[in-house]
Structure 1
Amino acid sequence: MTFLDTVTLEVADPVAAERFYTTAFGLGTRLRLRASQEPTTGFRGFTLSLTVSQPADANALIDAALDAGATALKPAAKSLWGYGGVMQAPDGTIWKVATSAKKDTGPATGQINDMVLLLGVTDVAASKQFYLDRGLTVAKSFGRMYVEFDSGSGPVKLALYRRRALAKDAGVSPDGTGSHRIALGAAAQPCTDPYGFSWETTSMAATP
C-alpha cells in the first residue's frame, strides 16, 4: 500500500522559506524545501491544510504565519463546517488552517492534528483511478467532487478536489500556468499524474 510521506515545496529562496516555515508552523520532516526558478503564475493547482482541535489553535497558527510574512486570503472565521482561515506563504504556497470545532475547550496547545495536501483536478474520478492503480486506497469519497486516500501511519494525507472548487475555497482565481512547484514523496516508483503532479521515491517513510 502506498502512503504519502513528504511534500517538497520548490521555492525561489530556500533560506527565507525555511525561516518562514520554522517560525509559522514547525512541520518537521514532513515538509521539505528546495530551490527552483521554474516559472509559475496564478493558482498552482493545490493547497496545503493544517487541521487542529479548536479555534484557539487555528488562531495561534494563523497569527504566527501572518507575523512571519504570510498574506491573508480569507480571514479566520466560523463557517458551516467549523472555523478556519486561508493564507498565502511568501513563497506562494496557499495554506488553510481549520478545525471542525466552533468553540474552544481550553487554551491553545500548538498541536497540529493533520497535514493534508489537496490536489485540484478537473476529473476527480479519473485521477482517483490513477492513484488506485498505483497502490493507494480510498478512505473517503464523495462522488466526483472529493476523494481522500488512506494515509495509514504516514504524516501527510492526500486528497483530490475539483480545481475550481479548491480555488474558490482558497479565495483565489482558478486560473494558473506553469510549474506546480511541488513534489510528492513516497516509498514507491516515481511517476507523474495526469495533471503534472510529480511523485519521487523516498528511501523510508518520514516521521512527523
Structure 2
Amino acid sequence: MTGIEAVTLETPDPAALDVFHEAAFGPDLPVRARPGDAPTSGFRGFTLSLVVPQPSAVDAFVDAALRAGATALKVPKKSLWGYGGSVTAPDGTIWTVASSSKKDRDPVDHRIDEFILQLGVDDVAAGKRCYVERGLAVAKSFGRKYVSFTSGPVTLALLNRRALAKNAGVAPDGAGSHRIVVNSPAGDFTDPDGFTWEAGR
C-alpha cells in the first residue's frame, strides 16, 4: 500500500529550520528541510498538524514552538470538536496542534498520536481521484468536503482551501510556490493543485 514517508520543506536556511523543528516538536518528526527560495506569498495551501492525547499536550507543544521562534495564530482553546491552536513557524509553515479531548485525564504526555499533512485544494473529488490512482488508500471520505488517506508515518487529508485557511486562522489568498515536497513511493508527479511529490530517497 502506498503512503507518505515524509514531507520536505524548502527554505533558505534548512539548518535553522531543523533546529526549530526539534526544539518545538521533538526529534522524530517525518519532516525534512532542504534549500529553496522560490517566491511565495500569503497562504501556501497546506498545514502540518499534530494530533495529541489531551489539552496539556497541545499547550506544551504550542508553548515550545513559540519559545523556539514561532508566531501565534490561534491561541489554544476549546471548540465543538476538542481543543487546539495554531502557529506559524519561522519559515512560514502553518502548524496546528489539536486533541479531541477537552479535558486532561492523565499526566502531561508529549506523545504525538498522528501527524497530518492537510492540503487545501480546489476540488476534493479530483484530488481524491489523483491519489487513488497513485495507490493511496482512502481512510475517510465525506463527499466533496473532506478525504483522508492513511499509510505510513504521515496521514494525508484534503479539504477545501478556504476551509483549511479558516481552520488555521489565516486568509485563503496566496500565490507562488508551496515550498513543500511530499516524499512517497507513489513516485514523481505534480498533483492537480500544484503540490510536488517525489519518490522516497
TM-score category of the 2 structures, normalised to the smaller one:
over 0.9
Alpha-carbon separation, structure 1, partners of 2:186 and 2:173: 31
Unaligned runs of 5+ in 2: none
**Cα deviation per residue 1:160-206 (whole Å; 9 max; x = unaligned)?**
01000000001111000000000001123211101110111114xxx
Q: In the alignment, which residue of structure 2 is the partner of 1:174?
A: 172
Q: In the alignment, which residue of structure 1 is the partner of 2:187?
A: 189
TM-score by length of 2: 0.97
Change (3 A) 1:27 1:160: farther
Superposed CA RMSD in Å reads 1.0
Q: In the alignment, which residue of structure 1 is the partner of 2:73?
A: 73
Q: SS of the counterpart of 2:126?
A: helix
Alpha-carbon separation, structure 2, partners of 1:200 and 1:158: 15
- The 5-angstrom pairing of residues 2-81 of structure 1 reads 2-28=2-28, 30-81=30-81
Alpha-carbon separation, structure 2, partners of 1:29 and 1:109: 16
Q: SS of the counterpart of 1:126?
A: helix
Give 1:150 shift. 2.4
Q: SS of the counterpart of 1:196?
A: coil
Alpha-carbon separation, structure 2, partners of 1:190 and 1:184: 9
Change (3 A) 1:168 1:29: closer
TM-score by length of 1: 0.94
Code of the residue aligned with 2:178 in structure 1: it is H
**Cα deviation per residue 1:92-128 (whole Å; 9 max; x = unaligned)?**
0000000000000122121111110000001000110
Unaligned runs of 5+ in 1: 204-208
Alpha-carbon separation, structure 1, partners of 2:63 and 2:187: 39
Q: Do the aligned residues in 1 keep the contact of 2:6 with 2:182 (CA within 8 Å)?
A: yes
The alignment-based identity, stated in percent, is 59
Moved over 6 A (4+): none
Q: SS of the counterpart of 2:117?
A: strand
Alpha-carbon separation, structure 2, partners of 1:77 and 1:12: 33
Alpha-carbon separation, structure 2, partners of 1:95 and 1:189: 26
Q: In the alignment, which residue of structure 2 is the partner of 1:141?
A: 141
Give 1:27 shift. 4.5
Instruction: Out of 9-18 and 91-100, give the one that drifted further.
Output: 9-18
Q: In the alignment, which residue of structure 2 is the partner of 1:164?
A: 162
Give 1:29 shift. 5.5
Change (3 A) 1:29 1:68: closer
- The 5-angstrom pairing of residues 119-158 of structure 1 reads 119-151=119-151, 154-158=152-156
Q: Do the aligned residues in 1 keep the contact of 2:116 with 2:154 (CA within 8 Å)?
A: yes
Change (3 A) 1:75 1:29: closer
Count of aligned pairs = 201
Q: Do the aligned residues in 1 keep the contact of 2:50 with 2:115 (CA within 8 Å)?
A: yes
Alpha-carbon separation, structure 2, partners of 1:51 and 1:33: 22
Code of the residue aligned with 1:102 in structure 2: it is K
